Copies of this chain bind each other. A is one copy, B any other.
Amino acid sequence: MKPTPQWVKDLKPSAPQGTELIKAERDSSKLSVDKLSKFLFTKEVLDRQATILKILEAEKVFDKSRNYFDGRQDRFVTALARAKRLRQLQVKHNWTQDEFYCASDLISEPGPYGLHATMYLTTLRGQGTPEQHKLFLEPAENYEAIGCYAQTELGHGSNVRGLETTATWNPEDKTFTLHSPHLTASKWWIGSLGRTANHAVIMAQLIIAGKPYGPHPFVCNIRDMKTHEPLEGIHVGDIGPKFGYNTMDNGFLLLNQVKIPHVNMLAKYSRVDPETNKYVKPSSPSLIYGTLTWVRSTIVLDSGKVLARGVTIATRYASVRRQFQDRDAPSGTSGENQVLNYSMVQYRLLPLLAATFALHFTGKAMMSLYQENQKRMASATTDTTRGVGPEELQAGSDLIADLHATSCGLKALGSTIAGEGLEVCRRACGGHGYSSFGGIGAWYADYLPTMTWEGDNYMLTQQVARYLLKSARAVLKGNAPTNDTTKIFSTFLQKQDMGCAHDVLGSDSDLVAAFAWRTSYLTFEALKHRDLEKNSWNSLLVDFWRLSTAHSQYLVVKNFYDVLHSESLQYELDPATIDVLHKLFRLYALDTLEKEASEFYSSAAVTVRQIQLARTKSVMKLLEEIRPHALRLVDSWNFPDWQLDSSLGRKDGKVYEDLFYRASELNPLNGLTIDPYPNNDTLVTRDETAQFKAKL
């Protein structure tokens, strides 16, 4: 392989340089990036990230330069090496859970211990008895047993009740027999199961004396603890390559009459009494409910940051990239126009930039609501001496129902905005967005399953609709609990006969109220279709999906509004930054209003004229006003270059140098010399790929 010639090494991008352009762009705004970062994350979190980043950067195994080149097998083995090292570092530095998550976030790739560290441990903790903690949780926490959570089956995704795997109680020897009666019963998609785990929590239909009791969790050892070979009666493996997430070994598992002891059924909530051979019912199913709510809330909180990666990359590249002269530029003007100057680019990117903040604030609000409720529940259930009255329990359960519905709707909306938004960002990078070095594609592909797992985004909307219909019925009957949802419904019912007049362009609170009005309108329309016109549930699924989306959009707009009116804001941010945040709020709300215009028309929440003006005047003006701050706003998300691993999203603007370096110096394919003639069957005449791989 010839070395790169000197004349190539001497070449620079044509002027102006990316470094100059991005500096000028940064200088065009006075917004305080530091203050905004602290407001978003707190100083503690920022400091933590800086400390951990240094530790990771120093470790060769976390070097990312191979990531875009390696095939699946190499990527998986590297991910395993990283997962091991990460665990070692966790022990060495005595990392908290938050520090561990921070490290994972910086590494930004799913790893083979992923489901062990989350779902396996969480399930054992939450659903095991003290005896089971000793037996299963302790070795798992020490990584002496590696586990996964096996629920989904080849033929059964969302519908847990449809699971086919059985766990049959054997009274004679006090054991359960786990069994897969059909091919479709094979566990499927189970993270960490394919090659890594030697244990699994298996969700199986409990059967006692021929009678089914629904799905329950069972711990099962599946691979030999020494040889790592599958145990007798177990057929297990990786399910194959996927659109993304290929560093994870999602697996399948078939069981052929596998016996496990009585203690392997996780028994905190329900169990089989080994003496009477009777089923003992769960005492408090609502706490299990809570875990799913927590998982969904995390997805909402993450969605802002997930999207912010794409927006950061696209905004930085749009500050460096120039294309065409401005058509209205005076003749004689030379030089091409910065892509970020194009209103079409602003129209695609800046509402997404606004969405990153909107989702982040919403996620934070959800999380505190969840934590507050957990505290209340814990004290209500543990503090039995206090004598909790039925009203208090009812209020708690109302709040859980509200939280559950809210988390479903926001999970669906947030992950959809983030997932689809990333693709918009990728495309906004033009041709180079398609290069792996752009850094958005792989991130997007890895994120996509979030739209399906923890409740498919379309399926979830039914839960939201069900809750809203129930609340609406209660409001009509006059026996509704007092919460925000029932409040907006009551307001709507009061004003329904005289209509409304929301000045969405002149008043922020009216803007929020217009979203509330639309939710209420759609709820009572759906209620009419279901309760009066007796339409089938199935025929209303599209209405329910729209309703859930509308309600969740309302919640996002409202949460953003609340942050702007919170007391802490004035102390933490200067007026100029607050002003930009306020513009982002208005952009998010008005852009959403305009994109969903037909529902605002038909619910008469806003006048036709104001909806038209929302885009042609307000949104376009906001784009112009926010544009000078766009780069600093994405900077405030505080992604290190090491994390983004993107030529286009480099903080220093050296886009072209980096793209070229990776292609010319690192790309192993350039080590292959081929015979190009079709009549010669020889394909590769020289293979020097090893020399490239050695550099990686």
Contact = CB atoms under 8 A, between A and B. Distances in A.
Interface of A: 4-5, 7-8, 11-14, 68-74, 76-77, 80-81, 83-84, 87-88, 112-113, 143-144, 146, 152, 154-159, 162, 164, 180-186, 188-189, 194-198, 223, 228-229, 235, 237-245, 249, 252, 254, 256, 323-324, 326-328, 336, 341-344, 347-348, 423, 426-427, 430-431, 433-437, 441, 445, 448-449, 451-453, 456, 458, 536-543, 545, 594, 597-598, 601-602, 608, 611-612, 615-616, 620, 656-657, 659-660, 662-664, 666-670, 672-681, 683-685, 689
A676 B197 contact: yes
A671 to B, nearest CB: 9
Contacts of A538: 326-328, 341-343
Contacts of A195: 669-670, 672-674
B612 A602 contact: yes
A612 B670 CA distance: 58
A664 B241 CA distance: 12
A667 B240 contact: yes
A243 B425 CA distance: 14
29 contacts: A14-B182, A14-B184, A68-B240, A68-B241, A69-B240, A73-B689, A76-B669, A76-B672, A80-B674, A84-B680, A88-B679, A113-B678, A158-B323, A159-B323, A189-B431, A197-B676, A228-B674, A235-B664, A238-B670, A240-B437, A240-B663, A242-B434, A327-B538, A328-B536, A344-B541, A347-B542, A434-B448, A539-B620, A601-B608
B13 A184 contact: yes
Contact of A157 (B427, B431, B680, B681): B431
A196 to B, nearest CB: 5
Contacts of A326: 537-538
Which of A249, A430, A663: most chain B CB closer than 10 A?
A: A663
Contacts of A434: 242-245, 448-449, 452
Nearest to A624: B539
A359 to B, nearest CB: 20
Nearest to A537: B327
Contacts of A112: 676
A539 B343 CA distance: 6
Nearest to A539: B343
A40 to B, nearest CB: 29
A286 to B, nearest CB: 22
A656 B597 contact: no
Which of A81, A620, A664: most chain B CB closer than 10 A?
A: A664
Which of A5, A143, A342, A538: most chain B CB closer than 10 A?
A: A538
A430 B449 contact: no
A323 B157 contact: yes
